[in-house]
Amino acid sequence: MLKPNLIFLLFIIVPMIEIYLLITVGNLIGIFPTIFLVIGMAATGVYLLRVQGLATVQNLRNSLTRGEEPTEPLLNGLLILLGGVLLLTPGFLTDFFALFCLVPFTRRALIRYLTRYFTQANYVTTSYTVHTNDNDTYQRQKPAVLEGQFKREDKND
C-alpha cells in the first residue's frame, strides 16, 4: 500500500520530471513539434481508451452471463481507467504509463503481475453472485460450506 509520504512525493517529483522532459524534448525538436507530439500521444491514448473500454465492458457482461469470475475484466477496466486518468496529465512520462495501461499486451502482463502480487500478499478474496433472468439455463447449486481455523500473522510482529 502506498504511504501518504510516498504519495506526497509522487505529486512533487512526477510534475518536476514532466517539466524537465518537456523542456528537454522541446530543446531537441522544437516547441511546436513537442506540442504536437504531446497532443498526438493524447489523441492515440483517447482512441485506445475508447476502443479498449468498450471491449472491456462487453467482456465483463459476457463473463457475468456465463457465471464466470469477473476478475480479469474488472482489472482490465481498472487499468483502462488509470490509463485515462494518466492521459489527462500532460507530459511524456504519464503518457508513457497511460499507453502501458491501454495497450492490451502490456496490460495483460501487468494484470498477471498484479494478480500474483495481491494473491500472494493475501489482499484478494473473491466472491461474486450471478443474477440471470433465465432460470432454466442457470442451475442453482448449494454453496459449499468450509469449516476451519485460521491464525492472523501480521508482518509487523
Residue-wise pLDDT tens digits, 20-59: 999 999 999 999 999 998 888 888 877 877 888 888 888 8
Contact 45, 118 (CB under 8 A): no
pTM of the model: 0.64
- Is the pLDDT confidence value at 107 over 70? yes
Domain ranges of the chain: 12-120
pLDDT tens column, 11-30: 889 889 999 999 999 999 99
* pLDDT for res 77: 87
Nearest to 59 by CA among 49, 71, 50, 45: 71
Nearest to 1 by CA among 110, 155, 157: 155
Per the structure block, which three cell numbers stand in for 110?
501487468
pLDDT tens column, 115-131: 888 777 665 555 555 55
Per the structure block, which three cell numbers stand in for 60?
465483463
| DSSP helix/strand/coil, 66 | coil
Nearest to 53 by CA among 79, 27, 22: 79
